[in-house]
Structure 1
Amino acid sequence: MCIGIPGQVITLDETSPGNAWVDVCGVKRRVNVRLVCADAAAMTALPGQWVLVHVGFAMSLLDESEAKETLDALRQMGEMEPDVGLFLQGGESHAVR
């Protein structure tokens, strides 16, 4: 299953240009943000914004209400789908499909 999950940008990663630290369900992850930032000005405005994250890349910007609605939907899915629940808790699934 491929899931994009909302996360809030905490700060830019000063040691790795083009990356930022993003809070994804309480877990801080380094995420490449070059796909959502057209230039340096957009990059500096990123902290505090919400992004949709998939496999270490920010795929798009989200507004806060859209991010929270998506997180709520994923939490509801996590009650029925063990893989989603593990992902939201920062774990990994090792299920063979």
Structure 2
Amino acid sequence: MCLGVPGQIVKIGDNALQLASVDVCGVQREVNISLICDDDPQALLGKWVLVHVGFAMSIIDEDEAKQTQEALLAMSQLEHEVGDFLGLNQK
């Protein structure tokens, strides 16, 4: 399964062909912004985006981003608990 992950643009280059730094749950990664940048890339600073395979695919609002982050974290916790239940996460 492929997921888009929400992140916030925290640093940006001078043009849409450069990479931007996106913060995803405290981890910063470089992503390509060419798919979402129509004009001045600096206008994207602070925006929330949906990141998939190194590309910012779309701009999303902060509430949607935070709800998605919470859901992804909950799914991760549920996966761990199901693994424990099935005996997959034995130490």
TM-score, length-scaled by structure 1:
0.74
User: Secondary structure of 2:22's match?
Assistant: strand
Q: Which residue of 1 aligns with 2:18?
A: 18
- Listed as ranges, the matches of 1:1-97 within 5 Å are 1-13=1-13, 17-39=17-39, 41=40, 43-81=41-79
**Alpha-carbon distance, 1:12 to partner:** 0.6
Q: Percent identity?
A: 54
Distance 1:31 1:50 in 2: 13
Distance in 2, Cα, partners of 1:70 & 1:79: 14
Runs of 4+ in 1 over 6 A off after TM superposition: none
SS in 1 for 2:78: coil
For these two proteins, the number of residue pairs brought into alignment is: 79
Amino acid at match of 1:25: C
Give per-residue Cα distances to partners, 1:23-59, cap 9 Å, x unaligned: 01111100001101112x2x11011000000110000
Amino acid at match of 1:56: G
Q: What CA RMSD, in Å, does the superposition of the two structures yield over aligned residues? A: 1.6
State whether residues 32 and 55 of structure 2, in contact with CA within 8 Å, keep that contact through their aligned partners in structure 1.
Answer: yes
The alignment's TM-score, normalised by the length of structure 2, stands at 0.79
Do 2:17 and 2:33's aligned partners in 1 also have CA atoms closer than 8 Å?
Answer: no
Match of 1:94 in 2: none
Higher alpha-carbon Rg:
2
